[in-house]
Structures are given as structure tokens and as C-alpha cells.
Structure 1
Amino acid sequence: MSGHFPFSGTQGTRYGLAPRMTISAFFEKNQFGKELQESYYKWWYDWAKAFVEQDADLKATMGLRFQHYPMGQHSEHSFHLNDKYWASCMDDLGGFIRNLILPKLDHDAEHKLEEEHEKLVAELKAKAADTYEPVPDVGHFRHV
């Protein structure tokens, strides 16, 4: 599955190539503004939450993660993200999906998910034409 979703790659994450950068680049490539980034995140959040609620093991062990929206360690702040809040939130959720949910999917479920994802991206890209504002020429994840 690696490469089919912006959060699914793992190569290089130990060496500073954080998935949030890949997700940020995905948002930029598709010209998703903040509202569309949140829509993209919300779609994945709802999908993952529904999957967790249907899986007895995940519901028992990970169900608490979905008591708050958005989920993850970056959900309470964006102090150093330079307007890339949803990329970091998607990184947290995407890691959860990549490591715990995708391995549970069979071949047909993977392809169905890929098709639904392609439809979502197409819908959001259609909305993006009117609302997109280019990102500034500063680092997206500076801590100062």
C-alpha cells in the first residue's frame, strides 16, 4: 500500500523525512486550502473511527483515541507549524491508519478504499480552484 496515500510511506522517517512534509506537499500539489485540508482530514477521521468501532480489538485498545476531534499529539496546538496544522494532524492520524488499520484490510478492501480516496481528492480539487492561496516562501515547520 505504500505510496497510495500521502501518509502511507515510511521510508526515511527515522532520518528527518517526516510524513507531515509529504502530506503538506500533497496538500500543496492539490491546492488544498485550510478548509479543504480539514475536509480531507475529516474524511479520514470518520473512516478510521468507523473502522475502529467495527473491529473489536481496535475498539478495546484504541477506541479512546477518537473521543476528541482531531485526534493525536498535534491536535491541541500549532505553535510552530506555520499554517500547516492539518498536515501534522493528518500525520498523527495517518500513522495510526498506516500501522494499525491498513494491515487488517484485504486486497479488495484496499482497492475499494483507494477508489473512494481518488473520488474524494477529485471532489476537493474541484472545490480548490476557487479558494486556493499559495503558501509563503518560508519554511513550513520552523520552531521559531
Structure 2
Amino acid sequence: MGAHFPFCGRADRVAVYAFFERHGLSFALQEKYYRWWHEWAQRQVMADPHLQACKGPELERFPYGQHAFHDFHLHQYGWATALADLGAFIQGTLLPRLSAEALERLAQEHRAFLSQLEAEALAAPRSPAPEVGRYRHT
């Protein structure tokens, strides 16, 4: 299960950002990727009355999570951070509720969507990393 999605395991915003970088996703494509997961999580929550009561209001807001509007160190980590927050909820609450077949179906849909994003990334490559290191405080 953990190998399929960038937020599984002990992933943090840096690991998720590395996933985005490895697949060549620009900031706009990162948002598109995040939105795909947000909409999936929203559908799962709204289909369950108990989850809808406790998490529905939180998922009505876009993006989800306590770091939803932070772009750490001004280096475009915003979507990686938001996905780390949303991913923690997905990994801890939604994925364990899926059957093996539903999880495999989700993994296939994810691979297909990621392939589509990679094709879009080739058509509009991301800008190169800045000369100042991403981890240096300026």
C-alpha cells in the first residue's frame, strides 16, 4: 500500500516535494495532483455518515489541513505540505477502510492519472531550481 502513494509511510513535505520533482510536476500540476486526492477523499468522506459528520466540514474547505495556506520558505512547498496533511488523513483513516480490490483499483487510477500528469509535464517543463538551496533560510 505504501509504495503506491507519495504520502504513505513516514512521508513529510520534503518527501512529497521530491515525488513532485521526480515526476517533473510544476506548481500548477502539483495543485492538479493535490486536487485529485482532495476530491477522492471528499467523495469517500461524504459516502460515510460518520466520517461526513466529523470530517465533512474540514473537507469542504480547499485545501485541507492545518498547513493549507503555507508555502514554506517561499520555495513552492505549498502543495507538498498540503498533500502531506491530507495524505496523513487518507493513510490513517480512508485507506484502511478499502477492500483489497478497491485499493488496487485506486492504485490503477492513480497510476493512470500520474501518467497523464507526466505527459502534461513534458509539454510544459517545470522551471529549474533556484541557485540558492531550497533549505537555506534567506
Q: TM-score, normalised by structure 2?
A: 0.91
| 1:140 aligns to 2:134 (yes or no) | yes
CA RMSD after TM alignment = 1.6
**31, 34, 42: which one aligns with 2:35:** 42
Task: Tell me the matched-pair count.
Answer: 137
Q: 1:119 to 1:100 in 2, by over 3 A?
A: same
CA contact (8 A) 1:84 1:140 kept: no
Letter in 1 for 2:28: E
Identical amino acids, percent of aligned pairs: 42
Compute the displacement of 1:50 (Å).
Answer: 0.5
**5, 11, 24: which one aligns with 2:17:** 24
SS at match of 1:80: helix
Q: TM-score, normalised by structure 1?
A: 0.87
For 2:72 and 2:37, locate their aligned partners in 1 and report how far apart those are by CA, in whole Å. Answer: 24
Query: Counterpart in 1 of 2:105?
Result: 112
> Which residues of structure 1 form unaligned runs of 5+?
11-17
Q: Which runs of 4+ in 1 moved over 4 A?
A: 141-144
Letter in 1 for 2:124: T
CA contact (8 A) 1:30 1:125 kept: yes
Q: What pairs with 1:1-144 in structure 2 (closer than 5 Å)?
A: 1-10=1-10, 19-132=12-125, 133-140=127-134, 144=138
Q: 1:131 to 1:6 in 2, by over 3 A?
A: same
